[in-house]
């Protein structure tokens, strides 16, 4: 029963996620944290951060981590299949149809409007992440530093995550951040 719940929950997340991994954060939080209680908001953001740094798609990586936490190896596999399944079906259907209609102005306009919607969803996710992550001066300094460096330099997100993890440890030991 737990594995079926994992599959259905992540299939729901997968079918409702438009615009990639960042856009799925509010949906994932509602389903996994609020409805199912399989992870706290903090755990979800940790899984998300690690999913960002590991090879592969963020949504799939995050589903795998949460599925593994809830149901072990089988849970990881089932959650991954759940989050991927809706996209596989939808993309297969769209690919079969889209090539015939991609040049129609109304279709181009629809895709353009969907991109705007996805930007808003990502922005909302950033606001939620901000509220949960930037809780003290040390976190604010890290945020500003990573923001500036990411805007002006082409640095891998993995480097940022590793440096911030090390900085968090150092700042906590120095007493700048709470334990």
Whether 128 and 60 map to the same domain: the answer is yes
Whether 10 and 64 map to the same domain: the answer is yes
**Contact partners, residue 111, CB within 8 Å, separation at least 6:** none
**Would you say the pTM of this structure is higher than 0.75?**
no
pLDDT at 21: 66
Residue 65 has pLDDT above 80, yes or no: yes
| H helical segments located in 17-156 | 25-28, 41-53, 58-101, 105-133, 137-152
pLDDT at 131: 82
pLDDT at 108: 84
pLDDT at 144: 92
Residue 166 has pLDDT above 70, yes or no: yes
Whether 9 and 34 map to the same domain: the answer is yes
Residue-wise pLDDT for 103-155, tens only, equals 888 888 888 898 898 888 888 878 887 887 888 887 888 899 999 999 999 99
- Kindly give the interhelix angle for 105-133 and 41-53, rounded to the nearest 10 degrees: 120
Chain CA centroid to CA 90, Å: 20
CA distance from start to end of the chain: 37
Distance CA 132, CA 49 (A): 13
pLDDT at 49: 80
| Cβ atoms of 128 and 29 closer than 8 Å | yes
Whether 91 and 152 map to the same domain: the answer is no
Whether 7 and 67 map to the same domain: the answer is yes
Whether 104 and 151 map to the same domain: the answer is no
Sign of CA dihedral 150, 154, 160, 163: negative
Q: Which of 37-51, 102-116, 149-163 has the highest mean pLDDT?
A: 149-163
Whether 40 and 127 map to the same domain: the answer is yes
Distance CA 143, CA 130 (A): 9
Whether 43 and 75 map to the same domain: the answer is yes
pLDDT at 148: 95
**How many Cβ atoms sit within 10 Å of the Cβ of residue 55?**
6
Tokens coding 5 = 């719940």
Q: How many domains does the chain have?
A: 2
Q: What is the DSSP letter of 30?
A: I
Whether 59 and 119 map to the same domain: the answer is yes
Whether 154 and 91 map to the same domain: the answer is no
Distance CA 155, CA 44 (A): 24
Residue 19 has pLDDT above 70, yes or no: no
Whether 163 and 178 map to the same domain: the answer is yes
Residue 176 has pLDDT above 70, yes or no: no
Burial status of residue 106 (CB atoms within 10 A of its CB: 0-12, 13-18, 19 or more): exposed
Domain region containing 162: 134-179
């Amino acid at each position: 029963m737990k594995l079926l719940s994992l599959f259905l929950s992540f299939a729901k997340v997968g079918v409702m996620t438009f615009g990639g991994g960042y856009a799925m954060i509010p949906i994932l939080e509602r389903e996994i944290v609020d409805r199912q209680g399989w992870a706290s908001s903090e755990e979800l953001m940790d899984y998300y951060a690690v999913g960002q740094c590991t090879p592969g798609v963020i949504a799939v990586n995050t589903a795998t981590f949460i599925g593994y936490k809830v149901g072990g190896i089988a849970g990881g596999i089932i959650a991954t299949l759940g989050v991927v399944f809706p996209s596989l079906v939808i993309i297969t259907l769209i690919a079969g149809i889209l090539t015939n209609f991609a040049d129609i102005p109304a279709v181009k306009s629809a895709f353009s409007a969907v991109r705007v919607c996805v930007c808003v969803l990502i922005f909302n996710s950033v606001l939620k992440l901000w509220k949960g992550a930037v809780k003290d001066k040390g976190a604010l300094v890290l945020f500003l530093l990573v923001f500036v460096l990411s805007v002006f330099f082409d640095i891998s997100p993995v480097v940022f995550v590793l440096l911030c993890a090390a900085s968090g440890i150092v700042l906590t030991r120095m007493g700048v951040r709470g334990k």
